[in-house]
A and B are shown apart, each in its own frame.
Chain A
């Protein structure tokens, strides 16, 4: 017999895994580096967000949960910055020959 918290974890982590799969499928199918960057940042960010959400009920107390949220926030901030920097570098380089 699983508790409600465990079911919540399973549903959210499964949904998160689905978005990681979608990100990789997009990575394989999208036509160029910039569109691949879209797939990478948007799908994987949502995947990580759902995984963190799913892990919250299993977290080690309130502070453990806060720390998970802090990791997620930092990854969001870093991801948003890095995606733009790479996109700008790709734009300056122009289309590949």
Chain B
């Protein structure tokens, strides 16, 4: 019952953001939010994972800063005549178990400088494409994963 109510609320707020508030339109918004809740519960059933709100804000700010430096890094590489990149894949064994948490972490790490997740390999490790495989990518990812784990309870 609880995931249903919180998702319904979230979708309704999002609908209000997009459509604007008008009392006459509210039934349409409620219907849209109900449909979205139904689809989301079907596609992503409520798992054991929990999201803690306060660390979420800190994490959002952290990843916001990271995505700025990721964009700056690409700009710097693009304009540099020598372009020092060594692209390649690394396998990263993630500690995250819940699929939802994994997906969220992959989405976040696609914003990090120099990394782009490209699915899982046959051994269940994440396959990460890096702009520079000589960088300590796995260590950086482990650090980011630690921050991420403060936000989700993954069990």
Contacts and interface: CB of A to CB of B under 8 A. Distances in A.
Contacts of A11: none
Interface in B63-107: 67-68, 70-75, 77-79, 83, 85, 87, 89, 106-107
B78 A67 contact: no
B33 interface: no
Interface stretch (B35-43, B50-58, B111-119, B142-150): B111-119
B85 A35 contact: yes
Nearest to B73: A42
A49 B70 CA distance: 13
A80 B107 contact: yes
A31 interface: yes
A29 B114 CA distance: 16
Given A19-B75, A26-B74, A81 B87 contact: no
B21 A63 contact: yes
Interface of B: 14, 17-18, 20-21, 67-68, 70-75, 77-79, 83, 85, 87, 89, 106-108, 110-111, 113-114, 116-119, 127, 129, 131
Interface of A: 18-19, 22-23, 25-26, 29-32, 34-35, 37-39, 41-43, 45-47, 49, 63, 66-67, 69-70, 76-77, 80-81, 83-84, 87-88, 90-92
21 contacts: A23-B74, A23-B78, A25-B78, A26-B75, A26-B77, A26-B78, A30-B83, A30-B85, A34-B116, A35-B131, A39-B74, A43-B71, A45-B111, A46-B67, A66-B17, A67-B18, A67-B20, A80-B110, A84-B119, A87-B118, A88-B118
